[in-house]
A and B are shown apart, each in its own frame.
Chain A
Amino acid sequence: MRDFLLNNVSPFPAKADANGHAAVHIAPIATGFVTHVLGKGNAKADAAHLTKLISDIAPELGATLRSPSPGQWFWVGDCDVSQGRFAEISGQIPGEYAISDQTHGRVRIMISGPQVRDVLAKGAMIDLADGVFVVGASAMTQIGHIGAMITRTDDDCFEIMVLRSFAVSLWHELHQMAAEFNGPHAG
């Protein structure tokens, strides 16, 4: 549990949704949580087991897991979790897992539009083709030199999770990458 209250401030520009009518839409995910869950050593830690566990402990948060590494998961969701509630949850997680709230440390960006894969192809070096990177797939990788976790949330929609201190750099980079599809528009 945290020793002091954190005031979670968005790292993104204030009018982050200003490109709402562009062909490629880039928007921060302003609410929600990111929790890092680590399985301890040779324990029976696996995604199915953990999914059941967190569904039982916190059914209101959903059980969306993204695995960056063997035995490690990011548990993410769109509703805000108070520090009190997080403390309750961590108190109920059994000993074979370690859990750490990273909502302050990792932020999420949604990027969508018909040409979203052409945009991401400029920075990501993994194969995002339909048959390879299906909806629901996620990968810890790099966009340019910035480490990022890419998740396909829909056919034309991807979520990018990045460390907060790299968020603005990546934000600008994504806008540059999308610029050819987002020509000048009225308003």
Chain B
Amino acid sequence: MSSLVKCPHCGLRPREEFTIRGEVATPRPHAGADEGTWFDHVYLRDNPRGQHREYWHHSGGCRRWLVLDRNTVTHETGDVVDASTLKTEGQA
């Protein structure tokens, strides 16, 4: 994995400054959704081979939640955006 991550707010920063939370899950289900839907949302992950979107927290810098595009085969990282942009995408 690249040891430098481009935070959209702080610029190039070492990977040690970040905490990785994991895959960006599907949009949060409706509060009244059935148990199976919630189980899927909370516990089941695709673990894809290839392009992958993950939540990264810039805990040692701006402390913003970020969404990072990463290839799980090559470990190349692509776009990094502030997680608040997911709201406008309707995926928060």
* B residues contacting the other copy or chain, number (CB 8 A): 13
8 contacts between A and B (CB under 8 A): A69-B64, A127-B12, A140-B61, A140-B63, A141-B13, A142-B16, A142-B17, A142-B60
Seed contacts A139-B10, A141-B10, A142-B60; 12 additional CB < 8 Å A-B pairs: A68-B63, A69-B9, A69-B63, A125-B16, A126-B13, A127-B12, A139-B61, A140-B10, A141-B60, A141-B61, A142-B17, A147-B60
CB-based contact A70/B60 at 8 Å: no
Residues of chain A whose beta carbon lies under 8 Å from any beta carbon of chain B: 68-70, 125-127, 139-142, 147
The yes or no answer to B29 lying at the interface (CB within 8 A) is no
Name the A residues within 8 Å of B13 (CB-CB).
125-126, 141
CB-based contact A70/B17 at 8 Å: no
A-B interface pairs (CB < 8 A), number:
35
Task: State how many angstroms separate the Cβ of A45 from the closest Cβ of chain B.
Answer: 15
A70 to B11, CA, bound (A): 13
CB-based contact B61/A70 at 8 Å: no
Across the A-B interface, the 7 shortest Cβ-Cβ residue pairs: A69-B62, A125-B14, A142-B60, A140-B61, A70-B9, A69-B63, A142-B17
Find residues 1-48 in chain B having any chain A CB closer than 8 Å to their own CB.
Answer: 9-10, 12-14, 16-17
Task: State how many angstroms separate the Cβ of A136 from the closest Cβ of chain B.
Answer: 16
